[in-house]
């Protein structure tokens, strides 16, 4: 065994101030999640301030997810080589620098570059945070640590829109970036003081062919999933330019091409990982980890759950602003109700897990999420106050807090500490890609349903409108993601058209909620492949098999 391996279970972070170490990590994680959720509500203000076009908006919102997903595996494995504490701190510095650049942006290109840099920093931090917790916390403290990690992850995703809406009204969109600077500095200082360095046992060089294939493959797949709605899933519905390449409406869309090339690269990557692993060469993903039942089935559950988990967060903000005229602040406040459930559940996850076991808690969390999504589908209404959605939001948030926190704990339960960085990066990547795929699929379902339902409503209720005008109205409402409804409602002669559009949008949200709930049900079914929890000597419950100690000095 390598003498270079160090784990924080024997260091000062575990023995003296473990909760300060956790606070340091959670501060950093909150920055990553906030950055992914806060920008969407600021887009109207940014468009006005920087005078940017629709293409710029797409890149500003999508570049973060694109680069973030593409680099998770690479930085997760690299953290095992150079040290997880070092990687987390480097990522925090990168994040702070590019947040400063984003806040000072004077053009769309400058802001897109800054968002790309933020994604690099986030990809360095997220899988490393999970690996540090996996190595530094054991027993009941481990369940509590992952519970709080999940609470912060889910809570910040819900509170981000509220913070963004508030900043847009009382200050400037630039403070959505500047606010991360002092938080990042605080995290950096606490990590330096309270976290003990840890590394994996594999001291060989990095698998650069794996880095290239995985990064490009994931990047192309995520790009296709993000751009499908706006460019066209098979036939191009708009003009698209990339350097010397130009696509016009009616041509083959670049989306299926990029997804196909990305999938081929990822299949090639997996095949080469198997070949290199058998030959004893450095690899990026240890495929043998998937033979660990908890890790293999847990990642399947995580991917399926991610497909439907954030559909509500995607659709409801658009719907309440278009149908009920909510401001960015009001929208954020409604979504934040979900965050209250997440935070409460994340804090209680440790105690509930000790009573019923982590695996059962994950299942119960998914059951509560399914109930919450069903409640949204039932209570969503174009006529009644959207604040009624607060009831299913709280239920959904509690479920999200339970399963987000403890699913990570379950997945990494039997992974050797020396392989935590690579293992957690794969989990983060699968959840990110699952979430991106879910957003793409659910977004397509939402807007296709909106278009079909609105066309039917206009045909039945507005027979005096010509076919060409009906088509124009449908296209305008769908292309604006529903924002055109506000303008239609403001004019007396189109007020009834606006009501038809509101009813259609509401029906589309119900359809999307049904699909999201179905994805959650599949995840629940897959969770029964996880091994049962077993009682520990202390009377609590733990994972199904004894964990192999990680080598350490």
pLDDT at 495 over 80: yes
State how far the Cα of 64 lies from the Cα of 55, in Å rounded to an integer: 15
State the pLDDT at residue 168.
Answer: 74
Q: Using CA atoms, how far apart are residues 92 and 143, in angstroms rounded to an integer?
A: 25
Write out pLDDT tens, residues 431-466: 777 777 777 778 778 888 888 999 999 888 888 888
pLDDT of 532 > 60? The answer is yes
| CA 389/CA 406 separation, integer angstroms | 26
Which tokens go with 150? 């999940």
CA atoms of 263 and 255, how far apart (whole Å): 12
Torsion of CA 261, 266, 268, 271, to 10 degrees: -160
CATH, range 8-206+284-452+508-533: 1.20.1250.20
pLDDT-based confidence at 4, cuts 50/70/90?
Answer: very low
- Which whole number is the average pLDDT over 368-394? 91
Given a cut of 70, whether residue 42 has pLDDT beyond it is yes
So what's the pLDDT on residue 234?
85
**pLDDT per residue as tens digits for the range 303-341:** 888 877 766 777 887 888 888 888 777 877 888 888 788
Note whether 359 and 524 are within 8 A (CB): no
pLDDT of residue 482 exceeding 70, the answer is yes
Residue ranges of E strands in 59-204:
none
At CB < 8 A and 24+ separation, what contacts does 475-483 make?
Answer: 475/451, 477/450, 477/451, 477/501, 477/504, 477/505, 478/447, 478/450, 478/451, 478/454, 481/318, 481/322, 481/447, 482/318, 482/319, 482/321, 482/322, 482/323, 482/450, 483/321, 483/322
Q: Are 349 and 340 in contact (CB under 8 A)?
A: no
The predicted structure's pLDDT at residue 90: 95
Alpha-carbon span 533 to 378, nearest angstrom = 35
Per-residue pLDDT of 221-239, as tens digits, reads 878 877 777 787 888 877 7
Q: Which of the two residues, 535 and 91, has the higher pLDDT score?
A: 91
How high is the mean pLDDT of the chain? Answer: 80
End-to-end CA distance of the chain: 9
Q: Within 13 Å of residue 3, how many CA atoms lie on the same side as its CB?
A: 0
Q: How does pLDDT run across 77-128, given as a tens digit for each residue? A: 788 788 889 999 999 999 999 999 999 998 888 998 999 999 899 989 988 8
Top-confidence residue, 210 or 181: 181
What's the predicted TM-score (pTM) here? 0.74
What 8-state DSSP symbol labels residue 388?
G
pLDDT of 200 reads 64
**Can you give the residue ranges of every domain in the chain?**
8-206+284-452+508-533, 207-283, 453-507
Higher per-residue pLDDT: 548 or 466: 466
Given 3-state DSSP classes, what are the helix, strand and coil percentages for the chain, each rounded to the nearest 5? Answer: 80, 0, 20
pLDDT confidence of residue 490: 84
pLDDT (average), residues 126-136? 81
Tokens 């209250």, residue? 340
Q: What is d(CA 213, CA 284) in angstroms, rounded to the nearest whole number?
A: 10
Beta strands in 239-323 (DSSP E): 240-242, 245-247
59: pLDDT strictly greater than 50 = yes
Of 96 and 277, the structure prediction assigns the larger pLDDT to 96
Strand partners, 534: 542
185: confidence class by pLDDT, cuts 50, 70, 90: very high
Quote the longest CA-to-CA distance of the chain: 81
The percentage of residues in the chain with a pLDDT greater than 70, rounded to a whole number, is: 88
Query: How confident is the model at residue 2, as a pLDDT?
Result: 34
């Amino acid at each position: 065994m390598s003498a270079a391996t160090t784990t924080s279970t024997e260091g000062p972070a575990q023995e003296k101030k473990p909760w300060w170490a956790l606070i340091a990590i959670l501060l950093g994680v909150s920055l990553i999640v906030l950055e992914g959720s806060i920008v969407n509500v600021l887009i109207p203000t940014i468009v006005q301030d920087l005078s940017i076009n629709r293409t710029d908006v797409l890149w500003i919102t999508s570049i973060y997810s694109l680069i973030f997903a593409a680099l998770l595996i690479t930085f997760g494995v690299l953290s095992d080589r150079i040290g997880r504490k070092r990687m987390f701190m480097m990522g925090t510095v990168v994040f702070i620098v590019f947040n400063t650049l984003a806040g000072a942006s004077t053009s769309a290109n400058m802001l897109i570059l800054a968002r790309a840099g933020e994604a690099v920093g986030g990809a360095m931090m997220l899988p490393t945070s999970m690996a540090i917790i996996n190595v530094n916390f054991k027993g009941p403290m481990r369940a509590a640590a992952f519970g709080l990690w999940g609470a912060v992850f889910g809570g910040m995703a819900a509170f981000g829109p509220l913070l963004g809406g508030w900043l847009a009204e009382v200050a400037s969109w630039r403070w959505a970036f500047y606010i991360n600077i002092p938080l990042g500095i605080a995290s950096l200082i606490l990590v330096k003081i309270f976290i003990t360095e840890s590394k994996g046992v594999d001291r060989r060089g990095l698998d650069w062919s794996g880095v290239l294939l995985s990064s490009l493959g994931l990047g192309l797949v995520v790009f296709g999933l993000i751009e499908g709605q706006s460019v066209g899933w098979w036939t191009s519905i708009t003009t698209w330019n990339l350097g010397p390449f130009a696509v016009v409406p009616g041509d083959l869309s670049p989306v299926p091409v990029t997804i196909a090339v990305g999938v081929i690269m990822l299949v090639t990557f997996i095949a080469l990982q198997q070949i290199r692993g058998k030959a004893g060469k450095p690899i990026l993903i240890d495929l043998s980890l998937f033979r660990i039942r908890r890790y293999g089935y847990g990642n399947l559950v995580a991917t399926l759950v991610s497909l439907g988990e954030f559909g509500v967060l995607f659709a409801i903000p658009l719907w309440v602003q278009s149908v009920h005229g909510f401001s960015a602040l009001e929208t954020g406040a409604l979504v934040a109700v979900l965050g209250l459930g997440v935070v409460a559940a994340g804090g209680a996850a440790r105690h509930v897990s000790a009573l019923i076991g982590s695996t059962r808690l994950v299942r119960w969390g998914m059951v509560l999420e399914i109930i919450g999504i069903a409640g949204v589908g039932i209570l969503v209404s174009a006529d009644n106050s959207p604040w009624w959605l607060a009831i299913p939001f709280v239920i959904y948030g509690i479920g999200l807090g339970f399963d987000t926190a403890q699913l990570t704990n379950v997945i990494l339960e039997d992974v050797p500490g020396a392989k935590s960085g690579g293992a957690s990066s794969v989990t983060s990547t699968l959840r990110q890609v699952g979430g991106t795929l879910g957003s793409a699929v659910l977004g397509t379902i939402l807007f296709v349903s909106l278009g079909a339902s609105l066309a039917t409503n206009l045909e039945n209720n507005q027979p005096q409108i010509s076919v060409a005008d009906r088509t124009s109205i449908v296209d305008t409402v769908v292309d604006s993601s529903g924002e055109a409804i506000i303008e239609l409602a403001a004019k007396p002669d189109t007020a009834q058209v606006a009501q038809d559009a509101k009813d259609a949008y509401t029906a589309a949200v119900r359809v999307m909620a049904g699909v999201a709930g179905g994805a959650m049900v599949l995840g629940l079914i897959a969770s029964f492949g996880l091994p049962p929890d077993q009682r520990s000597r202390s009377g609590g419950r733990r994972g199904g098999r004894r964990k192999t100690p990680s080598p350490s000095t």
